[in-house]
C-alpha cells in the first residue's frame, strides 16, 4: 500500500498565519503481478496509467485547527424607480 498526503493552509488578510489547515491523505492499493509481456490484456498492475490498473485509491480529508465561520450573503432588494422603463 502506498500512502501520500497534501496539506492546504488557508490564511486570511495580509497575514500568512494559518486560519485553517486541511489535510488530504491518500492510500493506494495495487495487487502485485508478474512481469509484463506482449500478450498481456489491457488492465492489471503493469499498466502505465493508474486509472486502468484495477487498483483502488481511498482519500481521507481532515480539518485541523480553526473554526468555521459561516458568512451570510447580504442581499438588498431595490425596487425600480417610478417611471423608469
Burial class for 20, CB neighbours closer than 10 Å (0-12, 13-18, 19+)? middle
pLDDT tier for residue 79 given thresholds of 50, 70 and 90: very low
Quick: pLDDT tens for 15-61: 888 888 999 999 888 777 777 777 877 776 666 776 677 778 889 99
Q: Say what the pLDDT of residue 5 is.
A: 92
- Which residue is associated with the grid cell 432588494? 77
Q: Say what the pLDDT of residue 15 is.
A: 87
69 vs 63: CA distance, rounded Å: 14
Strands (E), 1-85: 2-11, 18-29, 56-64
At residue 13, φ and ψ (nearest 5 deg) are: 75, -155
53 vs 33: CA distance, rounded Å: 11
Q: Say what the pLDDT of residue 8 is.
A: 92
pTM for the structure as a whole: 0.53
Averaged pLDDT, 67-85: 54
Amino acid at each position: 500500500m502506498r500512502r501520500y498526503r497534501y496539506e492546504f493552509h488557508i490564511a486570511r488578510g495580509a497575514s500568512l498565519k494559518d486560519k485553517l489547515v486541511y489535510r488530504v491523505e491518500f492510500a493506494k492499493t495495487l495487487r502485485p503481478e508478474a512481469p509484463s509481456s506482449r500478450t498481456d490484456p489491457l488492465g492489471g498492475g503493469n499498466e502505465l496509467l493508474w486509472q486502468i490498473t484495477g487498483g483502488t485509491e481511498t482519500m481521507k480529508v481532515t480539518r485541523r485547527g480553526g473554526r468555521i465561520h459561516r458568512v451570510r450573503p447580504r442581499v438588498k432588494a431595490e425596487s425600480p424607480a417610478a417611471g423608469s422603463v
